[in-house]
Structure 1
Amino acid sequence: MIFNKILVLVICGLLLCGCNRFAREGEFSLTVTMSETDLGNKLYLFYKGENDSARVDSAVYEGEKFMMKGRVAYPQRALMRVMRGNQRQPEAFEEGVDYTDDAIFVFLEKGDIRVVANKTLRGAVVSGTPSNDDFRVYTDSIRFYRDWLDGYRERFGKAYRDRDGKALDDLNRENVVVRKKKFEVEKRYFDSHPGSFVSLDWLARSYNIAREKSTILPLFESLSEGVKNSIPGKKYKELLSATLSVEPGNLAPDFTAENLAGEKVALSSFRGHYVLLDFWASWCGPCRRENVNVLKVYERFKEKGFMVIGYSLDSSRKSWQNAVGQDALPWIQLSGLGSGCVDVAKLYGVSAIPSNFLMDPEGKILAVDLRGEKLEKVLEQVFEPR
């Protein structure tokens, strides 16, 4: 009996130790030293908390430092931002938003993270944990892009104000070249750091799973077993498995959505035709301009088995309906405004509009994002082969 009690106490002690060790597993401390900042300023940290909920922590400036502690379930990239005393407290962090010189990214993970900055966070040195050491190598490799971006924005603003069409065209071409160079540098980092969480984070941010799944899969497999079997690695693998590919050659995912009359319509009901699934919205200027091109192509090929299905991303049924009338669009219009409708834009990996998918009579995707003359030329090859 005494032995059993002792055994129970030992087991409880081991469990408590295990629980405490688990609780400490992702504990971090963050110390941000700034040579110049006002006492009324605050440091905000945006990251994912329990169950991946959005979390915002803050710290005040004391003794030339901002200090805070927290816990994360797994290594993750987080935004750190200094807000001036007269600025409104931020409510959340949005991925893709361009932030000021008073914001940088850091990696939150177990350990003591140190940040040394001057008057602003731009150019700050982050160190103290393995992922932040890796992240510094990554950010140093693409520093040229941020430096170039400063001048580019200034030149673009001037060209826009001056309505200088040639300058704007030249700047757009330059932007494509520099972004390509940035991507190539990032890809080299990824290839040379398979055991880094920074590489996994870059992979997740840089590719559209639905549209580039066949490219992503071998890249993910090239990561180390430790990264792939980590919590973020497993989460990303689950997302890969759950996401349908909408690349050319694959069957387009079926869905049901409501038309302007509120009737349920299934994409699969249009099998037997060549179908252009066109994502647009009334508030999207480029979409409205592209409607003119699509209408021209539709009138030319509609008698040969070509159909267009518009899918609106509008949040207002009235705005959607008015735009259909103003642009005189004769084809079927669908949207996700009805109850119980799936997020079709997400299903198809649509992150920007206009965007479209051309499908053959069997429902397989032939091509993606055909605009202007490209759409007409592809349909000429389909309906008027030489």
Structure 2
Amino acid sequence: MKNLNFLFIGIVLLTCNFVNAQDDAAVEKEIAEFHQPYKTKFESILALTKQNQLEIETVKDSVKLQQLLLKGDSLINEIDKNRINELNQEFKFAKEHPNSIKSLEMIRIRVGRFEGMNYYDTFEEVFQNFSPEIKNSEKGKEMAEKLKYFKQSKVGSPAPNFILKDSNDKTISLADFKNKEYILIDFWASWCAPCLEELPYIKELYKKYQHQGFEIISITEDKESDSWKNAIIKNKIESWKHISLLENQSKIDKEYFVNGIPHKVLIDKNGIIIGKWKGTSENNKRDLQQLLKSIFEAE
């Protein structure tokens, strides 16, 4: 009888695993199907963007160049819009499939990306809608942790404090700047080409507003101190403060939910995050510039 019971339990487990595998396969197929139109549109816009960039590199007429630059901005906006539309469709699908680990995996990928940056409340709502089994799975617990760091680093939240040594071995505490200055934290690295391309722009902002209560703290992900310090000198950015995650053995990037660089965070005099930018784009630059202008040049 005992052997029969074990056999029965084994058959039940195998059957459940087979059903789950079938369910996962069906959900994966549905996910692939609703993603396809967004993928096709992205590839189409990307092709136009590459063609436009080639024209920018060869055009000599200033009027035509300006037209192409504006077209490039418009294409980038279309890519962003397509990604956000796709994300909203993913939210809808995940709500309709609360018992699927594949649904969780799908939105888990998005949670740290640019397009998901302003959707903390929706991510949280969708996550809480999952079944207890999904939320308590290993991937569910990972998602819960991601949402924790997302929440504490989103616009409107108090900026996580830190006390770290800078490149001159001086202690920097974020709390020391409270009620004194606006802080731009710039997560970067000497090997990050987009980060380096943004430095002239950041230097201009610093030059323009440093005497009005604007400070920059660059936090590097470099694994070699020499490369980091040489990049500071080479790019002539010694004027503001620099911190190494490696030298401080710090995980402050995790506290700020940094999943890629460049990654910028603007903190007001009250210690509240008022702006956050992931990646690099003309839109990001323009947004940061306009926000600083509204702060320091308000009539």
Query: Does the CA contact (< 8 Å) of 1:251 and 1:363 recur in 2?
Result: yes
Mapped pair 1:273 → 2:181: yes
The structure in which a higher percent of residues are strand is: 1
The aligned runs of 1:148-227 (5 Å cut-off) are: 163=57, 166=68, 169=72, 172-208=76-112, 212-227=119-134
Cα distance between partner residues in 1 of 2:212 and 2:45: 47
**Alignment partner, residue 206 of structure 2:** 298
SS at match of 2:92: helix
Q: How many residues matched?
A: 276
The aligned runs of 1:69-80 (5 Å cut-off) are: none
The aligned runs of 1:1-386 (5 Å cut-off) are: 110-111=17-18, 129-147=22-40, 163=57, 166=68, 169=72, 172-208=76-112, 212-241=119-148, 245-271=152-178, 272-329=180-237, 330-339=239-248, 341-369=249-277, 371-386=284-299
Cα distance between partner residues in 2 of 1:194 and 1:270: 44
SS at match of 1:333: strand
Which residue identity does 1:215 align to in structure 2? T
SS at match of 1:215: helix
Query: Does the CA contact (< 8 Å) of 1:315 and 1:337 recur in 2?
Result: yes
Shift of 1:266: 2.6
Shift of 1:238: 4.8
TM-score by length of 1: 0.60
> Aligned pair in 2 of structure 1 residues 304, 199: CA closer, same or farther (>3 Å)?
same
RMSD value over aligned CA atoms?
3.7
Ranges in structure 1 where 5+ consecutive residues have no aligned partner: 1-9, 29-108, 114-127
> Aligned pair in 2 of structure 1 residues 312, 233: CA closer, same or farther (>3 Å)?
closer
Ranges in structure 2 where 5+ consecutive residues have no aligned partner: 60-67, 278-282
Query: Does the CA contact (< 8 Å) of 1:244 and 1:347 recur in 2?
Result: no
Shift of 1:133: 1.2
Cα distance between partner residues in 1 of 2:41 and 2:211: 51
The structure in which a higher percent of residues are helix is: 2
Shift of 1:246: 0.9
Give percent identity, aligned residues only: 23
Cα distance between partner residues in 2 of 1:372 and 1:149: 23
Q: Give the number of the structure whose alpha-carbon radius of gyration is greater.
A: 1
Which string of whole-angstrom CA distances, capped at 9 and with x for unpartnered residues, describes residues 124-160 of structure 1? Answer: xxxx511211111111122234455666676666666
Higher relative contact order (Cα pairs below 8 Å, separated by 6+ residues): 2
Cα distance between partner residues in 2 of 1:135 and 1:222: 19
